[in-house]
Structure formats: C-alpha cells, structure tokens
C-alpha cells in the first residue's frame, strides 16, 4: 500500500463516517472510500487490518491504522494530523 494513501472504510448511513470524511475534505486530503455495506470481503479486510474492530469508519494512513472518527478528530485537536500526513 502507498505509504501516503488515505483509506477510509465506511457505511452509507453512518454519521461518524460523514463527519470523518468532512474533516478530510476540509483539509483537502484525498482519500479512497470503501463502503462495506454490500462488500462482505471488504468488511473482513477492514476487520483484519484494524485488528478486530468492526465499527465504521476505520481510517488508515498508508499502513498506519488511525482508528475511527473520534481518533481522527483527536489527532486534529492535538495538531498532529498535519504532521502525520506531512501537509
């Protein structure tokens, strides 16, 4: 996986997914969205990559697992998101 690629696993009716994607868009961070609603194999992939987490969103920056929406906003509040992404 590209070490700078941002991937977010989502579900279409998830408010936390919308909130996380909105923050990424606000910061002009390009990301790949993978909707796990109807893609069982992608949900399994997400669970394996996140070491067992089944909730969405699950966010990855390259090979680094960020976590969910709260984790993303915590990085932003600590002013660590820009450093992590090298923006």
pLDDT in tens, 11-66: 999 999 999 999 999 999 999 999 999 999 999 999 999 999 999 999 999 989 99
In a domain, 1, yes or no: no
- Total of domains in the chain: 1
- Residue 2 pLDDT: 58
Q: In terms of residue numbers, what domain contains 44?
A: 6-85
Q: What is the pTM of this model?
A: 0.92
Phi, psi for 65 (deg, rounded to 5): -85, 115
Residue 29 forms part of a structural domain: yes
Confidence (pLDDT) at 4: 74
Q: CATH number for the domain including 70?
A: 3.40.30.10
Q: Residue 24: what pLDDT?
A: 96
Is 71's pLDDT higher than 60? yes
Query: Quick check: 6 pLDDT over 60?
Result: yes
Domain membership flag for residue 42 = yes
Q: 16 burial class (0-12, 13-18, 19+ CB within 10 angstroms)?
A: middle
On whether residue 21 sits in a domain, the answer given is yes
Alpha carbon distance 14, 11 (integer Å): 5
In a domain, 33, yes or no: yes
């Amino acid at each position: 996986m590209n070490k700078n690629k941002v991937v977010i696993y989502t579900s279409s009716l998830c408010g936390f997914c919308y909130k996380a994607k909105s923050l990424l868009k606000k910061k002009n961070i390009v990301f790949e969205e993978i909707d796990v609603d109807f893609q069982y194999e992608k949900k399994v992939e997400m669970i394996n990559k996140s070491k067992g987490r089944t909730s969405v969103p699950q966010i990855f920056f390259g090979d680094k697992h960020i976590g969910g929406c709260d984790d993303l906003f915590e990085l932003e509040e600590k002013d660590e998101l820009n450093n992590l992404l090298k923006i």
